[in-house]
Amino acid sequence: MLGLLRRWFTRPTPEFDPAWEPMLLEKYAHWSTLEGGELERMKMLTARFIADNDWEAAQGMEITTDVQVLVAAQAAMLLLGLEIDEYFDVTSIIMHKSTVRLRGVRRGAAGTMRDGVQHLAGQATPKGPVVLSWAAVKRGASRSGGGDNVVYHEFAHRLDMLDGFTDGTPPLGSEEAAARWAQVCTPAYERVQAGDSVLRGYAATNIAEFFAVATEAFFNRPEVLAEHERDLYDELRRFFGQDPARRIQSSPT
């Protein structure tokens, strides 16, 4: 699916430190659902994400190993079933202690422009940094059933951006797959706009936010999404190469 983006050269594989695992088991709810080959790939992806990215601190934030590992493991979850091992064109990971405050002109409703301070949990910029609130990162990692996860959300945007467009459609590999994606996602997006969806209302902002919010639900509330939006769940399952609902059902309690 994303095979054309694979880098065809070898490079050393960073090592996953076994000392990271107790923290992940304690603070990242989804880590305990992994086993076998999935767990081994997640360890590789987590170590690679830490090694491959530049880390920057804001608001007096301290970049500790725990910060890097908890962000990296959640970002790695989206790559677990894909044919790529990294996010391309991410210039850095910028960590804030709490709410991210960004000042500047932004597009508002009906094409209007607004100027002022934005209060965000995170932001992904095309061919730029990913900005994250550490408070939101921790909250999303531990409260998976709540639905929200800022790391899943922002790195879903990064997958969406891989083809050069932020349009709610990541690279799908064929015209047939793209047509099926549109056939499923368009009515699902319209249901969110009409207030008739299990996805949180922010998904109605635009089609790019719809994909990011749907990704959060796919990993955090897979059984609910599969029950109420089966076609959407199946489309995300095909894209991500994962079945979180079955993983949760089969994981030890």
Tokens representing 159? 């997958």
What is the arithmetic mean of pLDDT over 205-230?
Answer: 96
Q: Tell me the residue range of the domain where 136 lies.
A: 3-250
- Tell me, what's the pLDDT at 11? 64
Nearest to 67 by CA among 18, 133, 120: 133
Indicate whether 43 pLDDT > 80.
Answer: yes
Residue 73 CB neighbours (<10 A):
28
How far apart, in whole angstroms, are the C-alpha atoms of residue 5 and residue 28?
Answer: 29
Indicate whether 10 pLDDT > 80.
Answer: no
What is the arithmetic mean of pLDDT over 242-246?
Answer: 95
- Tell me, what's the pLDDT at 73? 98
How far apart, in whole angstroms, are the C-alpha atoms of residue 189 and residue 170?
Answer: 16
Tokens representing 128? 């730029």
Residue 223 CB neighbours (<10 A):
13
Tokens representing 247? 């993983």
Q: Identify the helix (H) or strand (E) that includes residue 123.
A: strand 122-124
- pLDDT-derived band at 145 (thresholds 50, 70, 90) equals low
Contact 222, 233 (CB under 8 A): yes
Which CATH number fits the domain that encloses residue 138?
A: 3.40.390.10
Indicate whether 3 pLDDT > 50.
Answer: no
Alpha carbon separation from 50 to 124, 165, 168 (Å, rounded)? 17, 26, 27
Q: How many domains does the chain have?
A: 1
What's phi and psi for 58, nearest 5 deg? -135, 160
pLDDT digits (tens, 9 = 90+) for 98-120: 877 766 544 444 444 345 456 68
How far apart, in whole angstroms, are the C-alpha atoms of residue 239 and residue 241?
Answer: 6
How far apart, in whole angstroms, are the C-alpha atoms of residue 71 and residue 118?
Answer: 22
3-state secondary structure of 210: helix
Confidence (pTM): 0.89
pLDDT digits (tens, 9 = 90+) for 57-87: 998 899 999 999 999 999 999 999 999 999 9
Q: Where are the alpha helices (DSSP H) in 202-243?
A: 207-220, 222-228, 230-240
